[in-house]
Amino acid sequence: VPRAIAPHFRLRSPPPFTAVLRHLQTVGEGGGEELLSSWPSGCGVSAEAAFGQVLEYLEKEGLGSDKLAQLRPLAFLPVANATRLVPPGCLFIRLKEELSPLGYELPPVYTKYLELLRQLGVRDEPGAQALLAHIW
């Protein structure tokens, strides 16, 4: 939407954190499979790139402990060739073996957001406690 008409539609850029949070809650329902299965392949933006823009927004927003706590349980990071969304706590920087659906390796496209992702729960390697947390 052109900037000149955005106010007429009550659009704000960047959007408030509460709007982004509500959106992430909605798209992550059911692992985001509905959203990702209908992702338009010809739109010029991959799911990974789109969610990378979300991470960029979150970095710029500056997240305090309350906002981090609200984001941690949300499934908003695409994994498995963008077929599923998972919460940050299901991602690990290194995996020696396949652990899905309990854990996934961090897609390389997100390494530039590593500091933020660590604050959200991404760990270097999975431990038994981390994997058990996703079973219950």
Domain ranges of the chain: 17-133
Q: Closest Cα partner for 124 from 106, 97, 110?
A: 106
Q: Which residues, other chains included, contact 56 with Cβ-Cβ below 8 Å and sequence gap of 6+?
A: 113
- Would you state the pLDDT for residue 69? 97
Phi, then psi, of 61 in degrees rounded to 5: -65, -35
Cα dihedral 133/99/123/26 (nearest 10): -70
- Would you state the pLDDT for residue 124? 87
- Would you state the pLDDT for residue 75? 94
Q: What is the mean pLDDT of the chain?
A: 85
Q: What residue type is assigned to position 110 of the chain? A: Y
Phi, then psi, of 79 in degrees rounded to 5: -135, 180
Tokens of 134: 């996703």
Q: Give the mean pLDDT of 65-91.
A: 94
What confidence tier does 20 reach under pLDDT thresholds 50, 70, 90?
very high
Q: Which contiguous run of DSSP H or E holds residue 92?
A: strand 91-92
Positive or negative CA dihedral for 80, 82, 84, 87?
positive
Q: Give the mean pLDDT of 64-81.
A: 94
- With beta carbons less than 8 A apart as the criterion, state whether 31 and 86 touch: yes
Structure confidence by residue, pLDDT tens digits, 87-131: 999 899 887 777 776 689 999 999 999 999 999 999 987 766 665
